[in-house]
Amino acid sequence: MKASDYIATFLESKGVSHVFELSGGMITHIIDSISQKTKIKLVTVHHEQSAAFAVDAFGRIAGIPSVAMATSGPGATNLLTGIGSCYFDSVPSIFITGQVNRYELKGDRSIRQLGFQETDIVAMAKPITKAAIQVDNPELLPKILEDAFILANEGRPGPVLIDIPMDVQRTQIEENSILEEKKSNVNVPNSEIESLVSDIQKAKKPLILVGRGVRAGHCQEELEKFLEFTQIPVITTLLAVDSLAYDHPLHVGFIGSYGNRWANIAFGECDLLIVLGSRLDIRQTGADTKFIENRKIYHVDCEEGEINNRIKGCVPLVAELSTFFETFFNSYSNTKFTFPKDWVEYITELKVKWPDTEELKTEGINPNKFVAQLSKDGALSKAYLADVGAHQMWAAQSLRLQQGQLFLTSGGMGAMGYALPAAIGASIALQDKPVVTIIGDGCMQINIQELQTIVRNKLPIKIVVLNNRVLGMIRQFQDSYFDSRYETTYWGYDTPDFEKVAVAYGVVAKTIHTENEIEDATKWMWNEENKDRPVLLQVMIDPHTNTYPKIAFGKPITEMEPFFKPIGMEST
């Protein structure tokens, strides 16, 4: 059969329901085959980066690889930021790029390029993929595809790129039946679990730190069962804000550079920390890590290199979380654990003392209050997505997520422009159900063209643009370290009226300026007329609104601005 037909039917056999793409000459054979030979829906976007971000969100929700395609040269290179996002945030994904004919590849010639748009995307993508392969032998195509899907999902998930020359796509190949190879998992020594159980029983102030590894490892149910057994309160990283409902009795809050103040205080004062699928990077712990190294830490991760990397002295449990939970339940499901009542009550007192909606003193709309109300009225939303910047932190600090609601954002890559195309992938992965995407004015202008994709596909995406007419997080950085010289963030920067832009694309929109408009606006997004269609709400924020609390860089995580001042310069 024709190789492109094989690719199309193979993808369908793997459960791929949608392929995100922007057409180009070197993928026309595959596009035609998908259209003619399968029921896969081709979702055409207006920039290849958007296809990659849509695949990122789809993969996070579905838990299986989704597929993005791009043509050679600029199409392929435009995928790279989204590929990196999938790699750093552990998202299973497949990227297929077209390439010039094999006889047009420059090979070892001392030239820059032979074929038109020839670009060595494999070499560029290797550092940010689990594998990047060019198919130079058509007969190997079936095995390469099969191996790619296995690799994307196994261990710590991530992206795989397959670069396919155009003449390979049109070659006749034999169908092969490839058997999946089952790889053995690493077992957790029972002695280490026994030690963990003993330390939980002795601890007065235990905490569990949940990272994205729980959802990446398909272990959400196991986590909830583990909490039911152990009764340990939970703090979360940015990518795991959705690991527990806001009103769950063991939910503490979001920790890190811009974490909830009460959660960071609890983080600093716990006497036992169990880390489940988190990296303990500088955004989570701050630069001064001495505070965290004076207690017992158990670190569970499938990548050994992530353990005892920045934070030393951890008890390493190198295994996939599914194996860790299975070992625990098999041996200790009848063990009795005591609910740390005094510790939980103390954390509750901290929440009352430091409410997230009162951290900011600002003119006009308080973004934390807005986000809290947004989520209060957003029961119909299946997921919330945040782009990157100050609005991302306001969202993580103040969303009141309900049971089952998801939170998606670009963590490790921190890619501005993520949330609008990611919302497309998220809504489609959720069978075209409504999602809310929270975007800053700077991020909105990066992939604003995807409003057309949303309208064309009739997706009920609720778009919130927090418009402070400035690149706010960097502007705050300039206040701290550059004597308020606002080059390129406030000076020399501008925004359009996003309400008018949305209407031009066919999206119903409105704008609010004052706090007394918030509740009517958040209800308007979900009224009978709007609940099943895309809408855009522009929320005007004062340009000098800061993101608080924020770690005073160089100090322990418990010491946060504005009450403490940084003693060093951090990245934003």
Beta carbons within 8 Å of 413's beta carbon, 6+ residues apart: 81, 84, 85, 87, 88, 89
Mean predicted confidence (pLDDT) in 320-325:
94
Measured CA distances, 184 to 320, 323, 383, 506 (Å): 11, 11, 34, 52
| 202 touches 271 (CB < 8 A) | no
- pLDDT of 292: 78
Lowest average pLDDT, out of 142-151, 282-291, 464-473, 548-557, goes to: 282-291
Does position 322 have pLDDT exceeding 60, yes or no? yes
Give the model confidence (pLDDT) of 55-98 as tens digits.
999 999 999 999 999 999 999 999 999 999 999 999 999 999 99
Does position 179 have pLDDT exceeding 60, yes or no? no
CA distance 111 to 134: 20
Give the model confidence (pLDDT) of 207-222 as tens digits.
999 999 999 999 999 9
Confidence of residue 572 (pLDDT cuts 50, 70, 90): low
CA distance 506 to 494: 23
Sign (positive/negative) of CA torsion 452, 454, 456, 458?
negative
Does position 183 have pLDDT exceeding 80, yes or no? no
CA distance 67 to 440: 27
Helix 321-332 vs helix 190-202: crossing angle, to nearest 10:
70
- pLDDT of 226: 96
Residue in this structure with the two tokens 């583990």, named with its chain if needed: 226
Which amino acid is located at 218 in the chain? H
Does position 570 have pLDDT exceeding 80, yes or no? no
Q: Which helix (H) or strand (E) holds 149?
A: helix 141-153
Which amino acid is located at 571 in the chain? S
Q: Which residue has the higher pLDDT, 332 or 384?
A: 384
Confidence of residue 571 (pLDDT cuts 50, 70, 90): low
Confidence of residue 556 (pLDDT cuts 50, 70, 90): confident
SS3 256: coil
440: tokens are 């800053």
Beta carbons within 8 Å of 552's beta carbon, 6+ residues apart: 559, 560, 561, 564, 565, 566, 567
| 11 touches 68 (CB < 8 A) | no
- pLDDT of 178: 52
38: tokens are 């399968």
Torsions phi, psi for 494 (to 5 deg): -155, 170
Sign (positive/negative) of CA torsion 504, 416, 462, 496?
negative
Does position 181 have pLDDT exceeding 70, yes or no? no
Confidence of residue 177 (pLDDT cuts 50, 70, 90): low
- pLDDT of 185: 58
| 155 touches 164 (CB < 8 A) | no
Confidence of residue 473 (pLDDT cuts 50, 70, 90): very high
The torsion region of residue 313 among left (phi > 0), alpha (psi -120 to 50) and beta comes to: left
- pLDDT of 90: 96
Q: For the residues of 393-419, what is the DSSP string, one character each?
A: HHHHHH--PPTT-EEEE--SS--TT-H
Give the model confidence (pLDDT) of 509-519 as tens digits.
999 999 999 99
Does position 367 have pLDDT exceeding 60, yes or no? yes
Lowest average pLDDT, out of 88-102, 186-200, 305-319, 540-554, goes to: 186-200
CA distance 67 to 335: 44
Mean predicted confidence (pLDDT) in 88-114:
95
81: tokens are 């930021």
| DSSP tag of 487 | B
pTM value?
0.95
Helix 3-13 vs helix 141-153: crossing angle, to nearest 10:
30
Give the model confidence (pLDDT) of 246-296 as tens digits.
999 999 999 999 999 999 999 999 999 999 999 888 888 888 888 777 889
Give the model confidence (pLDDT) of 424-464 as tens digits.
999 999 999 999 999 999 999 999 999 999 999 999 999 99
Please report how many Cα atoms fall inside a 13 Å half-sphere around the Cα of residue 193, on the Cβ side: 20
- pLDDT of 553: 85
| 312 touches 296 (CB < 8 A) | no
418: tokens are 């993520």
Does position 180 have pLDDT exceeding 60, yes or no? no
CA distance 517 to 419: 25
CA distance 541 to 438: 13
What domains sit in the chain, N to C, each tagged with a CATH number?
3-169 (3.40.50.970), 190-353 (3.40.50.1220), 359-548 (3.40.50.970)
| 54 touches 93 (CB < 8 A) | no
- pLDDT of 186: 63
| 356 touches 394 (CB < 8 A) | no
